[in-house]
Chain A
Amino acid sequence: DVKVTQSSRYLVKRTGEKVFLECVQDMDHENMFWYRQDPGLGLRLIYFSYDVKMKEKGDIPEGYSVSREKKERFSLILESASTNQTSMYLCASSWGGREVETQYFGPGTRLLVL
């Protein structure tokens, strides 16, 4: 079974703090993704990576950065957390073949910024 794990299920931070969300996958997948999930808006792509040290902006990258130093690990960084970044954050991974591959999701991190 593919396993995607996220470092925390729940996180509470204060405005202005630097926040790190970690994601690890164990299937040697090439592609990794960070989404945020908000009611009524579905999932919106923040950043994705299709190789180590490679990253591409998604639809809503403002206020976020990412790091992929190892193939299995993809980190999302909030440089200075703000209240409008309170959300559920989902990590996903997929194999990097030519076909459109299934994305496998982690359980999510619910972040509250006070």
Chain B
Amino acid sequence: AQSVTQLDSQVPVFEEAPVELRCNYSSSVSVYLFWYVQYPNQGLQLLLKYLSGSTLVESINGFEAEFNKSQTSFHLRKPSVHISDTAEYFCAVSDLRAAGNKLTFGGGTRVLVKP
């Protein structure tokens, strides 16, 4: 069975400072990795994903994540955060062989950006 651990439940950070959200997973098979973001009072939306190829993936709003197979990690980073990045972030994994492309989510990391 797969599992996802997000090591920090809350991360307070000042505006324009860097932030790193940690994600580790366990799985006996190859996985695909995702970061979803949930802004206040909204549903989740995809931030970025790793399926294959380059281990560094980027989003359109400045986030990036690096897949590290040996450490089974997929940490999310942004070099300079904005107030609008205040949200909850979820790491998720998927085994392609699972019917319906099921996702297993981590517990979430709440990011609060302070001015």
Contacts and interface: CB of A to CB of B under 8 A. Distances in A.
Contacts of B90: 42-43
Given A100-B51, A100-B94, A40 B103 contact: no
Interface stretch (B38-46, B54-62, B66-74): B38-46
Contacts of B4: 42
A96 to B, nearest CB: 8
A44 B102 contact: no
Interface in A39-58: 40-45, 48-50, 56, 58
A48 B107 contact: no
For B49, B94, B102, B108, which residue has the most chain A Cβ atoms within 10 angstroms? B102
Interface residues of A, number: 29
Main secondary structure of the interface of A (DSSP, over half): strand
Contacts of A50: 99-100
Interface stretch (A12-20, A79-87, A102-110): A102-110
Contact of B100 (A40, A42, A56): A56
A107 B103 CA distance: 18
B67 to A, nearest CB: 14
Interface of B: 4, 6, 9, 32, 36, 41-46, 49, 51, 90, 92, 94, 96, 99-108
Given A31-B100, A44-B105, A107-B42, 10 more contacts: A4-B43, A35-B105, A40-B107, A41-B107, A43-B92, A48-B102, A56-B100, A100-B32, A100-B49, A105-B44
